[in-house]
Structure 1
Amino acid sequence: MSNPCRLRVVHLLLLLLTILTTLAEGQLAKWNFANFSSSLATVRDSIVLLGDAAIVNTTGPPRLVLNGRGSQTGVATAGRVVYSSPVQFKDDLTRIFVSFSTNFTFTITDPGLPKPVGCGGFTFYIRGDNNSVGESGEYLGLTTEANDGLTSNRLLAVEFDTSISNIPGGDPSPAHIGLDVNGVKSDSTYDLCPGTPDCTVLVNRGDYLAKIAYDSSKEALSVELYLNTTNLVANWTAPKLSLEPIFQNYMYVGFTGSNGVFCNQTHTIYSWSFSTSRPPSSKPKSPEAPALHTSYDCYKFDGCNNYRALIIGVPVAVGGCALIFLMICIYCVYCRKTQKNPEYKAVDVSGPNSGPQTGGDNAVKVNAKSASAHELPAPLVNIALPLCHGKDKDPQDPKPTDFAPVAGQPSVTASSISMEPKPEVPVVESVDRNPHGKVTMCCVQTKPKRDYKDTIVFSAKELAQATKNFSEKVIIGTPGRKPVYKGVLRDNGAEVAIKEIALNNISNEFVSKAMLLGRIRHPNLVHLLGWCKCEEKRKLYLVYDYMPRGSMDKLLLLSKDADGFLGFDARYNVLVGVAAGLNCLHAEWEQCVLHRDVKPSNVYLDAMFNAHVGNFSLASLVDHDKVAHSTVMDGTLGYMAPEIPFTGKPTMKSDVFSYGILVLEVACGRLPLDWHLPQEERVLLDCVWRAREEGDIARVADKRLENTYSEKQMATLLQIGLNCAHPDPSMRPNMAFVWKVLIGGAEPPELPAKKPVIENYAALSSLGTMRNSASRGNLGSTSSDTQ
């Protein structure tokens, strides 16, 4: 019988070889849908369909049709296909952009006569948002007349156009390839039919193969086009293209297609592959900064090295090999100890539903006297953490999804975390439209893509340089009476927000949790980029992504004509983004993260008005199968779930309640508690219930939005707000289901005819019975620790 320890060593060595091979190749993202027929289930899990896009599997193999819901004369169509997970285009370590390449086969068909003007075409695009569908016809489903050409679009596209645009300074011929930056007016084009005004070479000619590649070292984008995969039609290299003014760190990839009113073209994708890579020789950009006089002299302290200055290559490989070899040796010594010690026994860590365990591959050795995870030796804590299995599901929950521990995650002791039932993630095969006509956010996956990055340890000198020696002129807020500085990092020019916290106000547990939260990467969460602990000044600095639009509460107070006023579409998109972010915290990580203080002032907006949930000062990490053990009553009056004053235990459902109040506040444009109003109108939740009981729920909508929505659209939004703010926690949906409702993939649950009253806390008829200041800043809010 073979020694299990030796087998494990072999497995670790194979894993090391795989990791080193991957590092050598520099591969960051890769997928290949070579045949949609053989990978249809994967396609439905990985690709989101917006607008008129569809997966068609009738009369032929499954394929992506970019405008498949209305390809008929007299019907203008526009569709968008999005790969559901964002792709990292800017490397965290080297601070340079990666190269990328994509291949796809397509056809363009038109049973009628092609029209030379205003017909349409399709694009391969990379852009910062994953929620918008552009206009039909000459806008190619990419942009709209209102936003075409804006730098805030953060858009790069290669268009395959089949008509001459009406846009001034437009297209060379009806058949051309164009490079579009932030709009459909091409920066440069390749004419497929020079001197032929009625060219239709792209239409009804058969299968085309397109190869698009971008070399980041040369800043060169090339396009090759083949007819029937072998006959070269075009080989074009566009003028030098820098991604710096266009791309964010993370972008979304996909296709758009559109049809004009007088056309009936169909744009079909039959296969698609995509990959990113970085040059193996790329090194970090660390320009030397000029000396800066600063009163901060605590630049040297334990563990405060600048990891971003490390060189990729031999030092990393050698150090990694040595570290893994040392871990293997420690593991072997431990294995020998457990084999000789009869007090150790096998314990199943594969989950509560896996049946009896007899010490197979899913078992680890634990001391029989105390078999809890926190008493394992430190190197084995991560191995011993169980897979997450949900139980006690909501009626809306689909089939459970398992999550395995992530290698390299810092150990978390059982004494520092508490448990919470884990909600499941819905399967959304395709999405039509949300109530106001556009699908707004698609982040939830059947198998969530989770990206864990180590936070950066900054030096105090770096942060002093970034903030002009912590000047009062760059203070952008003072939550919790502690300043938040806007900074610009010297090495890469990135704008950041730097939060100052007094060390005597925080515990080591808080620092550990902050570092764990820093490993979460999601498009709708404020990212913790790094930190700096200055013992001499007794201060901790947390470094976050900078959000130029600030917090949402300030924008909700603006007049309709003010810059930054949020219209109905923008508010709806924000709510979808917040739902996706909270679902990530609740269900897409090994520990469930309870926010505990969901409200507009903790929702931050980037330059494109995308929502980012922040301020995890009250957040707690809990494992997925237990109830939170905290009995500290945290939160903000007006947003706090009614059961919290009685149970003292925050849960995912209490976060859902706070989200429901947020929805009502955003839709109605007023505070949840407003003592300046007559007594019967002070509590927003009661007002919405009363309006619903009287059959006119839309009357409570924000008057500044005027007629930018239908009553049905507003009623749906308010209904999901009431569902989330249901007095009975068991009746509240989970955030995955809320997200699904908001994108149009499900209907909101039915509500009772009148507002329910829970007997266990009937004395608390509404949160309005608890008087406090009407100011948002002091409605029982605790101090903020993060952005």
Structure 2
Amino acid sequence: MPCLTLVESTSTHEKKQIDGPVVNVTKHISFPQFRLDDPKIIHEVKLLGSAILSKDAIQIPDESQASDLRHQAGRAIYSYPIRLLDPVSQTPASFETTFSFQFSNSSTTSFLGDHPTSSNGLLGNNTGGSGLTFIIVPDEFTVGRPGPWLAMLNDACEENYKAFAIEFDTRQNPEFGDPNDNHIGINLGSIISNKTVNASDFGISLKDGSVHEARVVYDGGRRWMEVHLGPNPVFSGFLDLSPLLNEYMFVGFSASTGNLTQIHSVFSWNFTSTSQASLRFPSQETCESKLINKYDRGGFQSQESSQPQRSRKAEPPASFLIFIAVMVLAIIAVASLFYIGRRKRAQKNAVVLPEKKQRPRPPNKPHKFTTTEVSSATRGFNEYEILGSDSRGVYYRGKLLNGTQVAIKRYSAEFLSSQLGLDRRRLLKEITSMSKIRHPNLVPIKGWCQGNREVMVVYEFYTNGSLDKWLFGVGVLPWTRRLKVVKDIADALSFLHSKQLAHKNMKTSSVFLDVSFRAVLGDFGFVLSSTESSRFEAAVSQQVDVFEFGIFLLEVVSGRGRTDTDVSQEERDLVDFAWRMHETDEKGRVVDRRMGSLVNLEQAIKVVEIGLLCTLNESKGRPNMGEVVEFLSLDGPIPELPPSRPMALFPYNSTTGLCTGYACTPFK
């Protein structure tokens, strides 16, 4: 990295930087092949999502782990950041990258008749799904959305998420402006390409099973890019990447599948970047210059010039100096002996206490944060760090001093002063007790903060965001992923209830997706009533969890919220609508139509029935979460639903998702 040297002005003694020569900083990456036994590959290539090293290549998706290759997303990123922008001049780096890739069917492909098909029922060679990108992104841990998003971006990403990609796309998505299902696109911070090239115009078919060689050359000074596919220059033109670049970025590949699937393989990769950097001149003020300056000001004189001015008569005799030195040493010796003797006598009379050992705190153990730490992590609770909000407070993204990313729930003053938050001590007690709970499908609590009449909870951060953004967003979650989500969350709730605890805030925005799309339950409710015993309160809250989980199941299957103003009046309340469809034996109408024919309708209807069971009165057959987990295995029968909706359903506030009124007590 360039060195910045601070120098001191001899006239003003102020520090300043002096521009020096401009030099080039070069980085070179070379992977002639991706071998599993090469330790360099293991350390320098980070695989995210559904990506794997297999058969001397990077493969996306990972067919060894996914039973269904549809709607998979993965990335392969060089593990270390690369300097791609000079922040002084705002000049982007020049770079050149070459890589070989291939699109092919799953190894489980078989043939039915004249049409190739994979074992999961998907068409083969002539379909494609969806494509591969060479990406430059600001982080090394985010995986974008599958399908047409190519694992580059998703609708949960912020608008200012800086990303550049060159896509090799084998699916036509008219909503994104794709010209056909065989094109190359240049994407500047958006999934909609700024420039598209029809590969067929050059006699190239991306999905013909051939190994293709791509070469991208970018001149940062001229802002000029060239893209070659094989011997063909498919694009050349002016392209300013500086608005999309931070000083340091990550480079690599991303790929995804949608309703149709293919294996994306990268066999080799070379990347070289050259960025300019302004060095600083070292300080011209040296020790020698200081001596010269002092001499010029008369502070020193040379030995030759001062020798004649010395008076030999003024020099003291050598014997006198020796006598003085001996006397000083004798005085020091006597004083030392006196001090040592006095210290020994004091130690005999002293009581020696064992030294108290400071027990080190485990680095990952939840603990109390200071208000200063939390404020610093969120840049003073900057509005740009807000992840979301609800009736209880605001979620902020934060970064601790050790670099760990966290999500911080800052409870609002209105919530803390409401009846739900009157007993703040009990609220903090539940936070600390919940922070000790660990389960693969529960968001870990890293700590809490109390101060200045505030209460905040520090959670682990999940870059793929909350489920509601994926479930109710632009794209469509496939049925297999939805089923996995409800099973994950059922396991989490069942575990909590087995510990005599409850979540108390069960809704889609409390469910988060990790980098591999495993569902985890967070944003705990921490609602306690100071007038009830903890055992009674836990029993009530667990029943509320089951009821809310039933609504959660209906939301996941239907792909819509519990209240929806965009539908007809009779369908507006999701629970009412689901019960009416049960009464008329039309439960299939509850299932999200956007999933099309890929949904397993029998499974989806069974999950709807489990959701309706969870909304029964406790005395009328509402299951506990342990039973729900068994039902969601979908292996055996479930209890029969009543023919019509019971009259006294568990009431809830459709806005906050909280139980309200007397009905929040157990039914007898």
Common topology (TM > 0.5): no
Task: Sort the TM-score into its range (normalised by shorter chain).
Answer: 0.3 to 0.5
Higher Rg: 2
TM-score (norm 2): 0.43
| Structure with more of its chain in helix, by fraction | 2
TM-score (norm 1): 0.37
